[in-house]
Structure 1
Amino acid sequence: MCPSSVSGLIVRAGSPATGALLGLGLPSAVPWLVLAALPALAVFLLPRPPHRVASEDTARRRGSGGLS
């Protein structure tokens, strides 16, 4: 599945949810704060790449006192 298809699916799923949130009759700032928080929440939910360990060669160059 290409990225544009995934983006389209996200928009199709998010539009009704956004409409429902805006139609709840909450104070006007609340729905917008919820919508603004969703991308920030995604940062914490996305998988992170594994921690990379410096190779022996890199560690040796750093320990030699030379510029790297």
Structure 2
Amino acid sequence: MKVTVDATRCDGYGTCFDVCPSVFRSDEWGYAAADGDGTVPDADLDKARRAISLCAEQAIREI
């Protein structure tokens, strides 16, 4: 599974990188970004899906 973050929709709440810091990070402006190419390690699939479901702005999607 891979994820992508739509930076134009993100409001920078930080829920995604609080829930799944191995996949999401804060960029230089405080908005969410996916680490690397967005590949989610198998061990973090549940956390990544939880982060997607908790995103208030629906800025994260699975690709």
TM-score by length of 2: 0.27
TM-score by length of 1: 0.25
Larger strand share, 1 or 2: 2
Larger helix share, 1 or 2: 1
Q: Higher relative contact order by CA 8 Å / sep ≥ 6: 1 or 2?
A: 2
The structure with more radius of gyration: 1
